[in-house]
């Protein structure tokens, strides 16, 4: 038996035999043409044909993987209509007097290179989309159709990389898993595999090429492990794990599309916490109601330079677009304490958790704050945006934030840049001070989101980073439930809504208490969404009064 490890990007266990994927590559030759006008017309006709193929593929994907993921093919359509792409093809045909196939190949190579240089995983992955579009165009120009590879029996498709169209056209009856040498969690292959519920492991590297067609293989898409020509004991163990997983996930997946309502009609929203654009696929696949916390600091933590306004705008825009009108709450930069960003020099502090973190850092670096707010408001027209601010302790902070927002809006107006007038503004309730002034805060904002991870450490005086303090850092402490109750009552009495986005939100032992208190939304890691829905649907709230009595009023 041989074992290989990659990055598990779509969970599930699959058994099968390896089939190496044969890309339907098209080779392009460079030929001289005399009539460049006619060549441009030939290109435009091929483009029309490619467009209608993409429409068909969209319809096919719509049935296979649903609307959100089918959008990949509308995106391809948009790329095909991109004026820069088209004028480049036309220019090459006319200036160099060469055939359309070569002009398309050259243009797409330039575009793919441009994408691959961008320091953002998601954007880098778009290089594969450009290649996909170019192959389609060239096939149309040559009057060729892509031949789908036929597979017999259960197979595990192995490839250096796969394009989105290759992935979506896989026959789900025979393809048990997908393994690639390259790729990342943000590649569309990974996104589609997750949505199609096909286990997938990517980034297997060079060792991957030691595998052969026909080898027996077990793929664990959760851990990223591949067992090649497995022994009997491994087969038995993996079979047991597979049975358990199938049973559990089928039951949970059947809850997609259901409301988060208790047996006696109490409703709560369940949103997703995400750290980057690469988590959006999982959030949607698990049927989130929206994004309750986008930790924007990851954009800063990942790079040695602070992300520019343009880069942030592109990321926020994409998230909003991909969420198709569902609410997206983006938290402004929350660094300091354990989150150290290499792109800023921050003086050492004796007590970083009580130091210049969250909103305090943004006030200390107004240019950084303003850049982020500009990117957020510019992106706001692409969906339903909420912006929330971390580590709030006082009213003057809200006034300062609002001043900054007004400045940003007025700048955008004078630059004729549109922004939405419906952006909701919220604060994190993660300090005891914020709880105690939550009545006043609620009059100034649209929503609260309880950051129970920090609220626990600050309320219980127990460092969340110190493993020796687990006994004291108890998020189920009555003090915290009381604080959540106070903040909820103050929010509702003053026209605001309230959610919880700390880890406590997915604690199923507390779901009933949160419903009793009247919390409006729980935001959890994508894989916890359906577990939480399952819990909500199993409850009835007949013990509400009893629970509230146990929590007590302050
Ligand atoms: C929290 O404090 O509960 C929270 C959600 O924020 P973070 O864990 O990122 O500090
Ligand atoms: Mg926090």
CATH number of the domain enclosing 121: 1.10.274.10
> What would the two tokens of residue 274 be?
């995400």
Whether the per-residue pLDDT at 148 is higher than 60: the answer is no
- Domain span at residue 394 reads 269-551
The winner for highest mean pLDDT among 31-40, 193-202, 426-435 is 426-435
Total count of domains within the chain? 3
Considering the domain architecture, whether residues 102 and 202 belong to the same structural domain is answered as no
Q: Is residue 249 part of a domain?
A: no
Residue at which a domain ends, from 87, 114, 141: 141
Considering the domain architecture, whether residues 456 and 485 belong to the same structural domain is answered as yes
Q: State what percent of residues in the chain have pLDDT above 70.
A: 95
Ligand 1, residues 428, 434, 454, 528: which to mutate, most atoms within 8 A of Cβ? 454
Q: Which long-range contacts (CB under 8 A, 24 or more apart) does 146-152 make?
A: 146/24, 147/24, 149/19, 149/21, 149/22, 149/24, 151/19, 151/175
Considering the domain architecture, whether residues 453 and 405 belong to the same structural domain is answered as yes
CATH of the domain at 504: 3.20.20.60
Q: Is residue 53 part of a domain?
A: yes
Considering the domain architecture, whether residues 495 and 364 belong to the same structural domain is answered as yes
Residue at which a domain ends, from 215, 234, 253: 234
Pairwise CA distance, residues 409 & 9, whole Å: 39
Whether the per-residue pLDDT at 438 is higher than 80: the answer is yes
Whether the per-residue pLDDT at 424 is higher than 70: the answer is yes
- Say what the pTM is: 0.65
Whether the per-residue pLDDT at 537 is higher than 90: the answer is yes
User: How many angstroms is it from 263 CA to the middle of ligand 1?
Assistant: 31
Residue at which a domain ends, from 191, 210, 234: 234
CATH of the domain at 177: 3.50.30.10
Ligand 1: atom nearest CA of 502 is 3
Considering the domain architecture, whether residues 394 and 438 belong to the same structural domain is answered as yes
Q: At 131, is the pLDDT very low, low, confident or very high (cuts 50, 70, 90)?
A: confident
User: How many angstroms is it from 368 CA to the middle of ligand 1?
Assistant: 21
Nearest to 15 by CA among 208, 190, 244, 216: 216
Considering the domain architecture, whether residues 109 and 131 belong to the same structural domain is answered as yes
Considering the domain architecture, whether residues 12 and 54 belong to the same structural domain is answered as no
For the beta carbon of residue 419, count every other beta carbon within 10 angstroms: 18
For ligand 1, atom 3, which residue shows the shortest CA distance? Answer: 451
Q: Is residue 530 part of a domain?
A: yes
Cα-atom radius of gyration of the chain, to the nearest Å? 26
Q: Is residue 108 part of a domain?
A: yes
Instruction: Tell me, using a 6 A CB cutoff, whether residue 501 lines ligand 1.
Output: yes
Instruction: Tell me, using a 6 A CB cutoff, whether residue 451 lines ligand 1.
Output: yes
Lowest model confidence (mean pLDDT) among 13-27, 33-47, 522-536: 13-27
CA atoms within 13 A on the CB side of 104: 30
Q: At 252, is the pLDDT very low, low, confident or very high (cuts 50, 70, 90)?
A: very high
Q: Is residue 247 part of a domain?
A: no
Q: Which residues are marked as active site?
A: 188, 501
Considering the domain architecture, whether residues 528 and 512 belong to the same structural domain is answered as yes
Q: Is residue 252 part of a domain?
A: no
> What would the two tokens of residue 428 be?
């994190």
Q: Is residue 251 part of a domain?
A: no
Considering the domain architecture, whether residues 432 and 537 belong to the same structural domain is answered as yes
Considering the domain architecture, whether residues 279 and 421 belong to the same structural domain is answered as yes
Considering the domain architecture, whether residues 214 and 322 belong to the same structural domain is answered as no
Considering the domain architecture, whether residues 392 and 287 belong to the same structural domain is answered as yes
Helices (H), 262-326: 280-285, 297-301, 309-322
User: How many angstroms is it from 500 CA to the middle of ligand 1?
Assistant: 10
Q: Is residue 178 part of a domain?
A: yes
Task: State pLDDT tens for residues 77-130.
Answer: 888 888 889 999 999 999 999 999 999 988 988 888 877 777 666 777 777 788
Task: For CA atoms 319, 300, 192, 251, give the dihedral sign.
Answer: negative
Ligand 1: atom nearest CA of 503 is 3
């Amino acid at each position: 038996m041989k074992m290989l490890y990659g990055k598990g990007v779509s969970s599930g266990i699959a058994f099968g035999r390896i089939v190496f994927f044969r890309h339907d590559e098209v080779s392009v030759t460079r030929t001289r043409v005399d009539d460049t006008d006619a060549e441009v017309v030939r290109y435009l006709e091929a483009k029309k044909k490619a467009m209608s193929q993409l429409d068909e593929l969209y319809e096919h994907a719509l049935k296979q993987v649903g609307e959100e993921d089918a959008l990949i093919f509308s995106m391809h359509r948009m790329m095909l209509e991109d004026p820069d792409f088209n004028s480049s093809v036309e220019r090459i045909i006319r200036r160099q007097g060469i055939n359309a196939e070569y002009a398309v190949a050259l243009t797409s190579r330039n575009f793919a290179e441009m994408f691959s240089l961008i320091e953002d995983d998601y954007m880098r992955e778009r290089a594969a989309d450009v290649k996909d579009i170019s192959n389609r165009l060239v096939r149309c120009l040559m009057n060729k159709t892509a031949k789908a590879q036929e597979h017999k029996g259960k197979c595990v498709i192995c490839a250096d990389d796969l394009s989105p169209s290759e992935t979506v056209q896989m026959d789900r009856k025979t393809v048990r898993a997908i393994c690639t040498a390259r790729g990342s969690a943000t590649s569309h292959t990974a996104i589609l595999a997750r949505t199609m519920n096909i286990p997938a492991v990517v980034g297997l590297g060079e060792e991957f090429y030691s595998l052969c067609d026909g080898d027996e293989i077990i793929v664990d898409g959760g851990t990223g492990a591949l067992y090649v020509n497995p022994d009997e004991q491994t087969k038995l163990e993996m079979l047991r794990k597979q049975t358990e997983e199938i049973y559990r996930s089928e039951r949970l997946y059947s809850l997609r599309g259901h409301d988060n309502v208790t047996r006696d009609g109490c409703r709560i929203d369940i949103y997703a916490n995400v750290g980057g654009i690469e988590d959006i696929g999982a959030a949607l696949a698990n049927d989130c109601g929206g994004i309750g916390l986008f930790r924007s600091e990851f954009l800063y933590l990942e790079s040695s330079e602070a992300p520019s306004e343009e880069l942030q705008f592109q990321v926020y825009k994409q998230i909003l677009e991909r969420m198709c009108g569902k609410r997206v709450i983006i938290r402004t930069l929350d660094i300091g304490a354990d989150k150290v960003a290499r792109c800023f020099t921050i003086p050492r502090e004796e007590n970083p958790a009580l130091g210049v973190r969250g909103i305090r850092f943004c006030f200390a670096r107004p240019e950084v704050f303003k850049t982020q707010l500009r990117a957020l408001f510019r992106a706001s027209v692409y969906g339903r945006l909420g912006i929330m601010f971390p580590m709030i302790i006082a009213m003057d902070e809200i006034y300062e934030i609002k001043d900054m927002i007004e400045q940003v809006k007025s700048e955008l107006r004078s630059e004729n840049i549109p922004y939405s007038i419906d952006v909701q503004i919220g604060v994190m309730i993660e300090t005891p001070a914020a709880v105690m002034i939550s009545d006043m805060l609620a009059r100034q904002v649209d929503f609260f989101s309880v950051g129970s991870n920090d609220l626990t450490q600050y309320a219980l005086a127990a460092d969340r980073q110190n493993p020796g303090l687990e006994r004291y850092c108890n998020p189920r402490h009555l003090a915290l439930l009381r604080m959540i109750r106070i903040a909820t009552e103050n929010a509702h009495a003053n026209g605001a809504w309230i959610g919880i986005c700390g880890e406590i939100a997915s604690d199923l032992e507390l779901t009933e208490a949160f419903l009793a208190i009247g919390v409006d939304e729980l935001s959890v890691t994508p894989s916890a969404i359906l577990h939480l829905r399952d819990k909500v649907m199993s409850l009835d709230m007949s013990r509400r009064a009893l629970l509230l009595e146990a929590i007590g009023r302050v």
